[in-house]
Structure 1
Amino acid sequence: MIRVDDSGPIWEIRIDRPEKAGALTEAMLQDLADTLRTAHSARALILTSTGRVFSAGADLDAAHAGLATSPLWEEVSGAIAALPGLVIAALNGTVAGGATGMVLACDMRIAVPQARFFYPVMKLGYLPQPSDPVRMSALIGPARTRMILLGGHKVDAETALAWGLVDEIVADGSVVDRARELCADTVAAPLEIAHGIKAMCPVT
C-alpha cells in the first residue's frame, strides 16, 4: 500500500508493506505514478517506507507476469525527477532492484546504517530501466555502476556514503525527521528561489 500525507508543504509518500519487505505490485506502482503527477504543489517531498527494508523491488509473484520490465518503473522515476520541489529519499533500510530507480531520481538520499544497496537485474535476466544506469553513473561513476549492475556487488551504507550513492547516514533518530530538517530551508524560502536553485542543480 502507498500512503500519502499531503496535509502540509512537505508531502510524505510511504511504501507501507513491511510484511513483504516493501515489494511493489503493479497497483502500487500505478498509485505512486498517479500521486507523483499531483505532487507539483509540494514545496518538498519525502519518499520513505515502513519496516526494516525500504523496498525489495518488484513483488516476485508479480515479476513473472512482466512487472520487472514494466514501463511504470521509468514513469515513477521520471515523475520524481520532474518535480520542482526538493525530493529526499529517507531510506529506512535496504533498497533492491527496480526500487533503486526511484531513489536515484531523488535530489538527496539519507539512510540508516543498516541499509544495503543491490540491483540484481542481470542475474534475473532483465535490463535495468534506461535512466537508472545514467543516474547511477552520475552519482558514483561508470566503473562503480558496472560493479553493481554487472558484478552483482552489494553496497553497505558506509560504502554508499563514500561513493556518493547516499548523502548522509542517520545513525540516531528517524531518517524521516532528519529529512524534514533538510527540507526546512526550502520550505521557508520564497517559492521562486527554491525552485530556481533546484532547476540549477538538476537530477540527470
Structure 2
Amino acid sequence: MDIDTWWGLVGRAREAAGDRADDRDPPDDPLPGALTEVLAALEPERIVDFAVTAYEVTGSAYRWPLWNAAYLIEGGCGDDGFMDFRDGLVLLGREVFTRAVADPDSLAGLPVVVRMSREESGWIGYESLTGPVKTAYERAGGAADGFYEAVKAAGRGRMGPREPDGENWDAEDADLSRRHLPRLAALFLG
C-alpha cells in the first residue's frame, strides 16, 4: 500500500471521529472504532497491506529523540510504552506525526500535551493499532486466526528497525533534556 493511500485511510478515520480526533481519552476514544469502520470496507488483503505499512510507519518513528520526548510527556516510557506512543502518534495524523519524527520538541504545541503537562486529561498513546486493524480484517471476511500469519507473510522483513535511530541522551538528565527538547522541558520540567 502506498503511503499516501495509507495516510488517507487514517485521515478518513480522523474525519469520522470529528472534533474528538485530537482529544482522545480511553475508554471513550472514538478514533479506533472509526479506523475499524474505514478499514472494514476494504478487502482483507488490503487490510493486511495497511497493517504492514503501519509497522513501517511506526518503525520510522523508532528514534531516540522521540522516545526521550515521550519519556518527558508521559513521566517515563519503556519499550511497550514507546510502541503505544508511536501508535497513538499515528492516530494524530500525517502532519503531526511527520513533524514529531523530524522535531520531537514540536509536540509541545499540541493541546493534549499542554493538558498532560498540567496533569489534566489526555493521552497520546494507543495500546495497539493491531486491535482495530485485526477487527476490521475479520469483519471484512478474513480468517480470525489468520491475521498475524497473513501480515507476517506480506511483511517479509519489512517490519522496521531493531534499534532506535538518532542521538540518545539520558532522559532523566534535566539539563540534557532542556538542551535537546527545550519546549517540552519547559512544560514538564518547569
Normalising by structure 1, we get a TM-score of: 0.27
Flag the structure with more relative contact order, 1 or 2, with Cα contacts below 8 A and sequence separation at least 6. 2
Going by fraction, where is helix more abundant, 1 or 2?
2
TM-score, normalization: structure 2?
0.29
